[in-house]
Amino acid sequence: MEIEEYIIADDKHLVELSLGGDDMAFEYLFNRYNDAIRRLFLQRSTSADDTEDLLQETFIKVYINLQRYSPEYTFGQWVYTIARNTHIDFERRRQEDLSIDERFSAPVASTPSPEENLINLQQRSQIENYINNLPEQYRTLFTMRFLEDYSYEEIAEKLRLPMGTVKTQIHRARERMCRMIINAEKE
């Protein structure tokens, strides 16, 4: 298979190739989701070293369990679930390594304050309003890509659109969202 074919192949096809022994296909799956999973771990206050270890552990689990992947879910959702569970296991192991004093000291509040909740709710409401003001074609693509975490390939397949059209329209939808936000801030 040519490199270009790997690049444009959807996740489902790359999984099939990987299961057939094509290591290059798995490498493309890894490269496709590597950054998103790394950001997930870093957002959860994991150190850079721990993040790299967790990333490696996650993709080892993905590789070992690839035959268990069900196409009824997006591949990204499946990888994200494995990453989330890997992080939960990591946190449990880390808690076990703490002394009794450290384990039972009062933790810093991890839940937002009522004021922060209100601000988050207002921001979410504004974003939903911006999304609702997008033209229908852009709204659908924007929602699938940024809220439902579909890959470009999955969107193209699901909506039966050419890949170039999907990328162009998502780019335009993002530009419109940015303009709406900037205009709202100017008011």
Q: What is the CATH number of the domain that holds 148?
A: 1.10.10.10
Residue 110 has pLDDT above 70, yes or no: no
Same domain, 80 and 129: no
Same domain, 70 and 155: no
Same domain, 15 and 72: yes
Same domain, 83 and 152: no
Cα separation of the two ends of the chain: 53
pTM recorded for the entire structure: 0.52
User: Which residue, 87, 110, 133, sits at the end of a domain?
Assistant: 110
Same domain, 86 and 35: yes
- Tens-place pLDDT, residues 24-57: 999 999 999 999 999 889 888 778 888 999 999 9
User: Which residue, 110, 139, 168, sits at the end of a domain?
Assistant: 110
Alpha-carbon distances of 162 from 24, 89, 96, 159, rounded to whole Å: 24, 40, 51, 9
Q: What angle do CA 106, 107, 111 make, to 5 degrees?
A: 130
Same domain, 57 and 12: yes
Question: DSSP letters along 153-183, please?
Answer: HHHHHHHT--HHHHHHHHHHHHHHHHHHHHH
Count how many domains the chain has. 2
Residue 107 has pLDDT above 60, yes or no: no
Residue 150 has pLDDT above 90, yes or no: no
Same domain, 71 and 118: no
Cβ 87 vs Cβ 81: under 8 Å: no
In which domain, by residue range, is 77 found?
A: 1-110
Cβ 24 vs Cβ 1: under 8 Å: yes
**Amino acid making up residue 1:** M
DSSP reduced 3-state for 149: coil
**Residue 99 Ramachandran class (φ > 0 left, ψ -120 to 50 alpha, else beta):** beta
Same domain, 67 and 123: no
Same domain, 62 and 89: yes
Same domain, 76 and 127: no
